[in-house]
Amino acid sequence: MTSDTDSNYAVARHPIYHVDGDVFGYELLYRTVGGGNVATFPSDAEATLAVLANGIHAISQDIPRDKRIFINFSTVILAAGHHRFLDPARYVLEVLEHVTCDAAFVELVRGIREAGYVLALDDYVGQASFDPILPYMTFIKLDLLALRDDPVHMAAVADRCLALGKTVLAEKVETAADIAWCRDRGIPLAQGFYYSRPQVVTTKILEPNQAIKLNLLAEVGRAELDVRRIREIIGSDVSLTYKLLRYVNTASFYRGQPIESLDFAISRLGRNALASWVAVNMLSNLGSTAHDRELAFASAVRGRFLALADARRAKPCHQGDSICLLGLLSLLDAMLAMPMAKALTGITIDSHIRDALNGQASPCAPCLALAGCYDNGGAQAAAAMKTFGIRPDDASDSYFAALAWAADMFRS
């Protein structure tokens, strides 16, 4: 993680425990940068979007893959389908306690459950208004703080949930007596200050250029997705590329194959999940610095330049998308203000690309050298072109074509 002064995003993870065992999972909670272990909520919807877009990225290397991750969802975000990129085998969608369980919401929840997603009902105290959606809930989070003053009612609510076959999670447990009560009633999971407070994680998040956000939103708004166009747009922005690689590597459907291109990563998600992932990341309400934008533009130029230049060689060493990934990630250390090896932690990319980015011997090293020195000109660029195997005129044409492409992609 980065220092607080370098961070522009915060998220809290609150452990969920087996009552008599180890950690079962974590709940991700929106937090305000510099606000300590509290949050100033813009709205439930914006808080959820921020956690989906950046919270998963922030904690992806710190939570084992076999642990469940709970995320709060408002009605608006559920109805928009922004959960669809999440892996149902790992993520639990928490229905907030103040939703209105009208017929439309009940039908929405039923459809989500039938699509294979796992649902939890948050802060439950036995309200009859939630009866229509209880059949679709896997987890019921029992609010012990609200129920503690009426132990008879608290026991009745817990017993009913267990009788319905629900996995009961006692939340806001604060004392050993609370844990003993859970144990006596057969409640398997618990969360609260008795175990630990939410742990705040701060990090540096790279945000996409605003013009690219608009382009992507337009694309995912179409009736038929143009996956090739979406891949091209994502491939023009290092922040989106990095987030996509990190997410694909944390999802349980991924089996560890080296990622050589964005096409490979996108194919792991599928069309519907891709649309959901794009929408979440575009709608998250966070900005970027001028410094980051300049580095993002330079990264886009490098990636496109290498793809175009490689295609002009007699014997290209990579497919265009693969070598584009090399250029696009080449300034990642500067953007995240950390060593390249650390920046690449958590993403499985082709070993030749990784070695080149880390300054080690690699067949891709001449490609990276060309990207890094071409616009400096002089003898260094001439030597790099010779090693790369491209004529100066072809390199020049490729570079200026890449500049024009990047300018078009980044234009507001």
Percent of the chain with pLDDT over 70: 77
Count CB atoms within 10 A of the CB of residue 299. Answer: 27
Examine residue 169 and state whether it is found in any structural domain, yes or no: yes
Q: Which residue has the higher pLDDT, 155 or 401?
A: 155
pTM given for the model: 0.64
Whether 3 maps to a domain, the answer reads: no
CB 62 within 8 A of CB 87: no
Convert the pLDDT of each residue in 230-246 to its tens digit: 888 888 787 788 778 77
- Final residue in a domain of this structure, among 172, 203, 234: 203
pLDDT for the residue numbered 142: 95
| CA 355/CA 343 separation, integer angstroms | 13
pLDDT band at 60 (very low <50, low <70, confident <90, very high): low
For residue 51, what is the domain's CATH number?
3.20.20.450
The total of structural domains in the chain comes to 2
For residues 179 and 50, membership in a common domain is answered with yes
The answer to whether the beta carbons of residues 258 and 325 sit under 8 Å apart is no
- pLDDT digits 0-9 by tens, 37-58: 455 555 677 777 778 777 776 6
Residues 210 and 179 in one domain: no
Specify if 117 maps to a domain: yes
130 or 272: which leads in pLDDT: 130
122 and 87 assigned to the same domain: yes
Q: Are 370 and 309 in contact (CB under 8 A)?
A: yes
**Predicted local confidence at residue 166, as pLDDT:** 96
1 in any annotated domain: no
CA distance 154 to 177: 14
What sign does the CA torsion over 288, 300, 355, 261 have?
positive
Task: Check whether residue 218 and residue 123 sit in a common domain.
Answer: no
Length of the chain: 412
Does residue 97 form part of some domain?
A: yes
285 token code pair: 């309400």
Residues 353-369 have a mean pLDDT of 89
Token pair listed for 313: 């060689």
Residues 346 and 362 in one domain: yes
193 and 287 inside one domain: no
pLDDT band at 412 (very low <50, low <70, confident <90, very high): very low
Q: What is the pLDDT of residue 199?
A: 82
pLDDT digits (tens, 9 = 90+) for 254-311: 555 666 677 777 777 777 777 767 766 765 543 356 666 677 778 878 888 888 888 8
pLDDT confidence of residue 1? 47
- Under the banding of pLDDT at 50, 70 and 90, the label for residue 211 is low
Are 77 and 49 in contact by the 8 Å Cβ rule? The answer is yes
Tell me: do 137 and 184 sit in the same domain: yes
Which amino acid is it at 306? Answer: L
Across the chain, mean pLDDT equals 80
| Position 247 pLDDT exceeds 50 | yes
Residue with tokens 């934008």: 293
Same domain? 243 vs 186: no
Specify the CATH number for the domain of residue 338. 1.10.3210.10
**Per-residue pLDDT averaged across 315-332, rounded?**
73
Q: Are residues 58 and 126 in the same domain?
A: yes
Q: Which domain holds residue 276?
A: 206-412
Count how many Cα atoms sit within 13 Å of the Cα of residue 179 in the half-sphere of its side chain.
14
The band of 408, judged by pLDDT with boundaries at 50, 70 and 90, is confident
Render pLDDT for 163-186 as a digit per residue (tens, 0 to 9): 999 999 999 999 999 999 999 999
Judge whether 2 lies within some domain.
no
* Amino acid type, 89: A
DSSP, residue by residue, 331-387: THHHHHTS-HHHHTTT--B-HHHHHHHTT---TTHHHHHHHHHGGG-HHHHHHHHHH
Residues facing residue 139 across a β-bridge: 120, 167
d(CA 310, CA 313): 5
pLDDT at 316: 64
In this prediction, residues 304-323 reach a mean pLDDT of 75
* Under 8 Å between Cβ of 343 and 333: yes
Q: Which residues contact 142 (CB under 8 A, 6 or more apart)?
A: 124, 125, 154, 157, 158, 161, 168, 169, 170, 171, 187
Percentages of the chain per state (helix, strand, coil), in multiples of 5: 50, 15, 35
With cut-offs at 50, 70 and 90, classify the pLDDT of residue 8.
low
Residue 4 maps to a domain: no
153-167 b/e (C-beta count within 10 Å ≥ 16 → b): ebeebbeebbeeebb
Which token pair is 399?
Answer: 């570079």
Statement to judge: residues 295 and 384 lie in one domain: yes
Question: What integer is the mean pLDDT of 308-324?
Answer: 72
* Residue that is last in its domain, among 203, 224, 258: 203
238 and 183 in one domain?
A: no
Does 359 lie in the same domain as 232? yes
Q: Between these two residues, 78 and 262, which has the higher pLDDT value?
A: 78
Element (H, E) at 321: helix 320-328
Last residue of a domain, one of 203, 218, 234: 203
pLDDT, one tens digit per residue, over 326-348 is: 887 888 888 777 889 988 876 66
pLDDT of residue 132: 95
Query: Per the structure block, which two tokens stand in for 184?
Result: 């006596």
Alpha helices in 170-319 (DSSP H): 176-185, 210-220, 227-234, 238-250, 262-269, 271-283, 290-311
Contact at 8 Å (CB) between 220 and 230?
A: yes
Residue 338 lies in a domain: yes
Q: 410: pLDDT confidence band, cut at 50, 70 and 90?
A: low
CA 75 to chain centroid, in Å, comes to: 20
Report the C-alpha gap between 199 and 185 in whole angstroms.
29
